[in-house]
Amino acid sequence: MNPTDIRNAIENGKTALGIEFGSTRIKAVLIGADHTPLASGSHEWENRYENGVWTYSLDDVWTGLQACFRDLRAAVQAQYNVSLRTVGAIGFSGMMHGYMPFDQDGALLVPFRTWRNTITGQAAAQLTDLFQFNIPQRWSIAHLWQAILNKEPHVRNIHHLTTLAGYVHWKLTGQQVMGIGEASGMFPVDSTTNDYDARKIEQFNALLAEKNIPWRLPDILPKVLVAGEAAGALTAEGARLLDPSGELQPGIPFCPPEGDAGTGMVATNSVAERTGNVSAGTSVFAMIVLEKALSQLYPEIDMVTTPTGKPVAMVHSNNCTSDLNAWIDLIQEAVAALGVSVSEAQLYETLYKQALAGDPDGGGLLAYNYVSGEHITHMEEGRPLFVRTPNSRFTLANFMRTHLFASVGALRIGLDILFEREQVQIDQILGHGGFFKTKEVGQRIMAAAMNVPVSVMETAGEGGAWGIALLAAYMLYKGTNESLESYLAEKVFAGQNAVTLAPDARDVKGFAAFMQRYQQGLVIERAAVESLAA
């Protein structure tokens, strides 16, 4: 599209807008009818650890969203000399699941409990046993049942339970709905009905009756929608919330809100059977679209769905690059203290590339990147650790390689179940997220960890905000009965270039040696959790 066509498209609403609340950044991507990103905006934010809970305040949600949209609007004005007053459709996405209960007046009853919390172990174990279906600690139903077990007084006043994406969508449209991918992390869904699992609803309602809770689960859960369905429109109040300047016009249609897992699948064209993707940033998770059900329940494997309801096996690790980022920040301080000016981007690229020069196994070094608890290795709290022996080869290259290995160590433990025990077959794995930002490095490390070829598309850097924009566009432009799989393959990704790296034999062998050390050293992490106060 030439600049004139783009201006006309923006003025006439021939666009789609996706906004995603990531763990450290809120990002907006505006795309044209050809799905190409036209402009983007962003706002940095960070969670807080308050009273033993990882959280974000609602004020941060709205000031961050408004700053992100303002940044996008400024980019549109600067690039195309046109005011952003409307778009064709909007979609919102957010970090997965967590716990946001509201009363009948719309007031949040307790601070937002994010996916990062590992405080629902008792509830998750009980529900997993009851349902014979794995319930991870971050799922909304685990948080709800834990609150009931803890006899928290707010429970009786719950009128509506949602997630971050669902909350923002609700405030902007008035609709209490949820895309099925995110809904499947609130409560188990049935892929044959594309709704919450009716039998499990009955089982949980029986628990509620025993506890004399005055409501039942269907009363408080958002309505489930699949990709392509309409999910309301921007209200006048919502338009002012999103854009206090008053320029954005109400009436814009919304697609169902989704979690970052679902938008990651869309952004990597990984919604068909035998496809998969791995998202690596603050957390890391791999999603494999299954051909058939797993043979048994695995606590390490979450069963969720694509945005159209297909079953997906998910391996999720709470921790990925946060600890590595902290080390790079420390190195940046040292560089600044020397009076040297190096950009953050240059420092990251330089240090990441150092990892490729390290020993295959990281030189005998060991790290645990557990800023928060890690359910795959059964750590209730996080204690970041770096460990070496007198004989370890302590070099910068090995230090960086070890921390990149550690970023995907817990993930590998879960993947071994899928690939070795269940013999799950995949045709492609696509990577996206900050882990892959430096060319080749993250890809090589991930290929070694997964022992499969890893591809990265040119659009990988756009991430989930682009993915939810695509879901908004799908709602607008899909043909009659056109599947999401067909839409993505034929209209979005046809002709897309991807760079694929096969596993290097030395890297695979080195990572295996590191993982042996990683597994043996978990007792050190356990001792740190038990001995060091947070």
DSSP 381-420: S---EEE--TTS---HHHHHHHHHHHHTHHHHHHHHIIII
Where helices occur in 150-259 by DSSP H, the ranges are: 164-173, 180-183, 198-210, 217-220, 236-242
Claim: this prediction has a pTM higher than 0.85: no
Which residues of the chain are in CATH 3.30.420.40 domains?
Answer: 3-258, 263-319+411-503
CA angle 476, 81, 491 (to 5 degrees): 25
Question: CA 110 to CA 113: how far, in whole Å?
Answer: 8
CA atoms within 13 Å, Cβ hemisphere of 338: 8
Superfamily of domain 263-319+411-503: ATPase, nucleotide binding domain (3.30.420.40)
Per-residue pLDDT of the chain (534 residues; tens, 9 = 90+): 788 889 999 999 999 999 999 988 999 999 999 999 999 999 999 999 999 999 999 999 999 999 999 999 999 999 999 999 999 999 999 998 999 999 999 999 999 999 888 899 999 999 999 999 999 999 999 999 999 999 999 999 999 999 999 999 999 999 999 999 999 999 999 999 999 999 999 999 999 999 999 999 999 999 999 999 999 999 999 999 999 999 999 999 999 999 998 998 998 888 988 889 898 888 898 999 998 888 889 988 999 999 999 999 999 898 999 999 999 999 999 999 999 999 999 999 999 999 999 999 999 999 999 999 998 999 989 999 999 999 999 999 999 999 999 999 999 998 998 988 999 888 778 988 889 889 899 999 999 998 888 998 876 556 789 999 999 999 999 878 899 999 999 999 887 778 899 999 999 999 999 999 999 999 999 999 999 987
CA dihedral sign, ordered 286, 290, 295, 296: positive
Instruction: Out of 3.50.50.60, 3.40.50.150, 3.30.420.40, 3.90.1170.50, select the CATH number for domain 3-258.
Output: 3.30.420.40
Could you tell me the CA-to-CA distances from 57 to 50, 60, 330 in Å, in that order? 11, 5, 27
Q: How far apart are CA 363 and CA 493, in angstroms?
A: 40
